[in-house]
Amino acid sequence: MIFVGGLAFSSSSEGYEDLLILLEHPTLVSATNCFKSIPERKISFCASTSERHSSLRHVYVFQREYATVNPSLVELVGTDEATTCVGLVVRNRKSGFTSVGHLDSPGLVDSGLSQMLSSVTHEDVKAELDVHLIGGYEDAPYEHSGTNSERSDGYSWGLCPKIIEALQDSATIFHLQTLCLLRHNTQYSDGVALPIIRGFVVEPATGTMAPAIFDSSSRCPDEVLRRVRITVSSEDVYWTGKLLETYDTDHDRFQIAPVSWHQEWKFTASLLLQHSDSQMLIRCSTSPYAEAPDFVKSMRMTFSYLVRYPDWQTSFPNRQPRVFKRIDNGGWEQCQ
């Protein structure tokens, strides 16, 4: 159940109507405006950077992934590259355990939320959780006319109400703190809608949040293969409706779960690599006019990997995870 400002949010409406009401809630509007005013943090692992937080122990979450971190082991957790996706933060007020999920479709919401809760609540049915929702710009507007409301086919408008519905229908207490979604996360440039916030970082020990962008050095380990999992996981029935498992909370190590794919991906990837950058944007993105400059580069790395390694068992022998441990300099070393 959703609480706002310490009070239960009561509504008998559907998820769309509940979302519209919450988007107008003064407490959430104020909190969201405050969040957007925070300077964006730039997270980098490069030794040359002068920003202190670049050297902190952090965990990065890609699209369709989630990770739950222990505040005694990890100082920062976050995600970015969100356009029509939504970043979901769930933090246990008592323990500080914090889970971040990067949701990209309504079909992931129910199981994804269950995955995140199982590692945050520790089966404490009375646990009270702070929740933040960030991302999902207004790629298509919600149109209201008279007594009839009709949702256009925007990706964000399909995802955001489903998340609100799942939170409200749950027996768990969710204190909704930030709702940086849709019109609250939309700006316009030459008439084109763009997201204001594409990423964020959380300090699990305090719950402090800020907008953030991660460079490639901070999206380790195994960036390319993790991007491949995003592309092909929908074909693996094991992952239907689930967020991809990526991180071992108890041992502070990345445990990148295996995903299988058909060898026909080599042919598909080869064709996609022949596309121009503009064609690839149209074919591969839900928001081609809003992607970051390195989107096409990342997609080309993904497709090149599939061409080079068409057999998924080369990447995940015996369907075992790829495991990485932290090393003294803060980087990662594969140990399995």
Q: How does residue 154 score in pLDDT terms, banded at 50, 70 and 90?
A: confident
Interatomic CA distance for residues 330 and 250, integer angstroms? 18
First to last CA, the chain: 40
pLDDT exceeds cutoff 60 at 226: yes
pLDDT exceeds cutoff 80 at 125: no
Q: How does residue 141 score in pLDDT terms, banded at 50, 70 and 90?
A: low
pLDDT of res. 55: 62
pLDDT of res. 76: 96
Tell me the two tokens of residue 77.
């957790």
Query: Where are the chain's structural domains?
Result: 2-220
Q: Could you report the per-residue pLDDT of 248-272, keeping only the tens digit for each?
A: 999 999 999 999 999 999 999 999 9
Q: What's the per-residue H, E or C state across 28-90?
A: HHHHHHHHHHCCCEEECCCCCCCCHHHHCCEEEECCCEEEEECCCCCCEEEECCCCCCEEEEE
Q: How does residue 10 score in pLDDT terms, banded at 50, 70 and 90?
A: confident
| Mean per-residue pLDDT of the chain | 91
**Fold assignment, 2-220:** 60s Ribosomal Protein L30; Chain: A; (3.30.1330)
Interatomic CA distance for residues 63 and 227, integer angstroms? 8
pTM of the model: 0.93
Choice among 126-130, 183-187, 311-315 with the minimum mean pLDDT: 126-130
